Every structure is written in structure tokens, then in C-alpha cells.
Amino acid sequence: MVLGIEFIDIRTNERQALGIRKGFFTSPPGKRLDLTRNIVIPAFIDAHSHVINYTMKANWIDLSNVKSKRALLNMIQETLNSRNLFLGYNFDESTWSEREFPTRREVDEVSGNKPVLLLRIDGHLAVVNSGLIEKLKLPENMFKDFGNGIIVEDNVYIVIRKLLSKRKLGPSIKALQSLLKLGIAASADMGSIVEPSDKIKKKLSRCMEVYFYYCLESIERQIQEGLDKTMFKYGGIITGFKLIADGSIGAKTAYLFEPYSDDPSCRGLLLIPEEHLEELIKAANRLEAQLAIHAIGDAAIDVVLNAYRWAKPGLRHRIEHFEMPHDDHIDKLAKCHIIPSMQPNFIANWQQRGGLYEQRLGWERAKRMNPLATILA
């Protein structure tokens, strides 16, 4: 039931909700579906997703339901009895009793010489084993912790692209259909393992509207090749650009003013220096392209908002996640007309007492994160 509307007329390539008296149709009736007293709502638009990555992982193993490190290691060993490669994603060690990453040595013990890649739930950290290091001839300087097989940030996706370079990459229609079943009809894709070709975009468009935000390398390539603003109009080939200023709390790469509580030597990583960020913002101005800049830590948010003072008004620039803002950051956000794109599910997943954010930051900092009510006020 739609409040105030007694029926919905769905036509080929056209969807209209018509609030007209019961039984009145403007065209010959086709197939009628009586929804009785069920509720009908508009489909969802996912404002921040990685829909291409999601569909390309159709043959990966989802680790979100793994409850412990031991269970993960057992799964790897069992799976590799019938496979030559283990690609897992969505592991979250903060929910395990051990609360620690699997190590390269532990994975080696259950995998033999078969390659293994384990991608953390935030996509900012991966653990790989010796089999994969040997297969791809990965250099030691690519690792945050070579001994434990830990890679972070850009190097994660360099490794994944290298690993999948000889495999057929493209969206899985079955995976897309699973999103449609959840009511998601349109999505903003915030960067992917590979930039989508026209063929991939056409395939996606048959199922849902996807608005593409391309990565840092894309905007730099446009600068080098000559700016073409016609490509970046809303609804065109590309909606805008996704830049990543820092990492994640879970990977300890979110850029903080004060060190991590569980690692006093670490404040995270600033992935784009402020001066370079300013150059990219000015390039986006010339392209008339929207920017969406990932910033989770309070120090990263500070850098991004300072750089946004160079932004051209009216382009509806965004800041992704915006998890650790101070009061002055919220004031500056409003004055600069920057749109915060925030994820309430992070609160339920990691911001509860005893959760990941308290583990990494202590409760005083963790409890002030994601101040949605203050921002909406």
C-alpha cells in the first residue's frame, strides 16, 4: 500500500506512480498484481558502494560469518583440498576471540604452497601467504609487515590486479540481481579493482543505474592528457572522482591527531599531501567534476576541509565517512557546502562498547565518532 496512491502503473521503460481514484486506468490494463495490504516503497539509491568490486567477487569466499582465526584457518585448509587459490574477503578480526590478524606463517601452515589472499572487511588491509608472494614475486618494500604478510592501502589493489590480470574480469549478473532483491536500484560506485570499460558499464546498466567515481590515477591522467570537461557531467560517462586521503581504523591507517591507543607509535597515514590535494581540487574545478574524498581520521578530515577551500562552489563535493570530526570541522563543513557521506552501519558494527573503535582509540574518542544527530541538527 502506498499512502495516498491506490495503484501503480508500470509501463515499458517508464515508471509512474499515479494517485488517481480506484479503478481508473489511463491505458488498457495489462497484467494486474494485487499486493493486498503490503507496503510499497521507492527503491533505494546506495550513495556509497563498491558495486563493481562486489560483483567481481562473486567467486571469492565471503568470510563475514567466520567467528575465529582458528575457524578461518580450518576453512582455508579445507577449501584448498579442491582449489589451487584461496581468495577471501570481509574478514573482521575485531569480532573474533583472538582479536588479531592471521599471520603469514599461520596461513602457510594450512595452505602448503598454494596462494592465499585475505582481504579485511574495510578493504584497506590484506594478509597474503608465502605461496602468493612467490607466485607474484612481491618485493618486501610492498609490505607494511613482510614477516606477517600484511599489505595496506594502494598496495592491496596493486596485488589484486596483478593476481587477477590473466583472469576474465567483469560484473556477475547474479551478484547484481542479489542487490536488486535488497531493493537497491541505483548506486554510486566509489572506485573499483579495475576501471569499468564501456562494455562493463553497458552490462551493468541493464540491471541498475550506476554512477561512477573514478580513482586518483584517472584525474591525474586527465590532467596529463588534457582536460575534457564533457566527460564529467552528471549522468555522463563519469560522475566524478574518488580520492582517498587516509585509510581505516581497523587497518590503523586512518590519519589521527593523537596515536592509536593500542599502538602508541602509530598515527595512521596521510595518503595525499595537502598541497597535492589542492592541485587535484583545482583540476576538478576546471573539469567541473564532483569530488568524493575519503577521510576517516580527525587529522585527515582537517587536511581535506582545509584543501576544500579551493573548491569551486556548486559542484556538490563530498567527504566520505567523516567519522571523527571535531566541532569546528562540522562548522567548516556547513560553511563550505560540503556533503558528508556517512555510514550509520559503522556505528552498529564497530562503535559499541568493547568494539573495534574502543579497542583502537579508547572509549573517550570512540564515543564521539559519527555524530549524526549533531550534523543533522
Residues 6+ apart with CB under 8 A from 296: 246, 247, 248, 249, 254, 255, 321, 322, 323, 324
Phi-psi region of 201 (alpha: psi -120 to 50; beta: other; left: phi over 0): alpha
pTM of this structure: 0.85
Overall average pLDDT of the 258-262 stretch = 98
Whether 40 and 68 have beta carbons less than 8 Å apart is answered as: no
Residue 353: is its pLDDT beyond 90? yes
Q: Name the residue among 235, 184, 186, 193 with its Cα closest to residue 214.
A: 193
Least confident segment among 134-143, 145-154, 160-169, 251-260: 160-169
Least confident segment among 22-26, 160-164, 296-300: 22-26
Domain 59-164 architecture? Roll (3.10)
- For the chain, the helix, strand and coil percentages under 3-state DSSP, each to the nearest 5: 35, 20, 45
Residues 6+ apart with CB under 8 A from 229: 286, 287, 288, 289
Residue 108: is its pLDDT beyond 60? yes
- Domains of the chain: which residue ranges? 7-42, 59-164, 215-376
pLDDT digit string (tens) for 240-249? 889 999 999 9
pLDDT digit string (tens) for 161-217? 888 875 655 556 777 888 888 889 888 989 877 766 777 777 777 778 888 888 876
- pLDDT, position 258: 98
- pLDDT, position 237: 52
- Counts for the chain of helices (H) and strands (E), in that order: 15, 14
Greatest mean pLDDT range, 54-63, 130-139, 227-236, 284-293: 130-139
CA gap 374, 377 in Å, rounded: 5
* CATH superfamily of the 215-376 domain: Metal-dependent hydrolases (3.20.20.140)
Whether 142 and 126 have beta carbons less than 8 Å apart is answered as: no
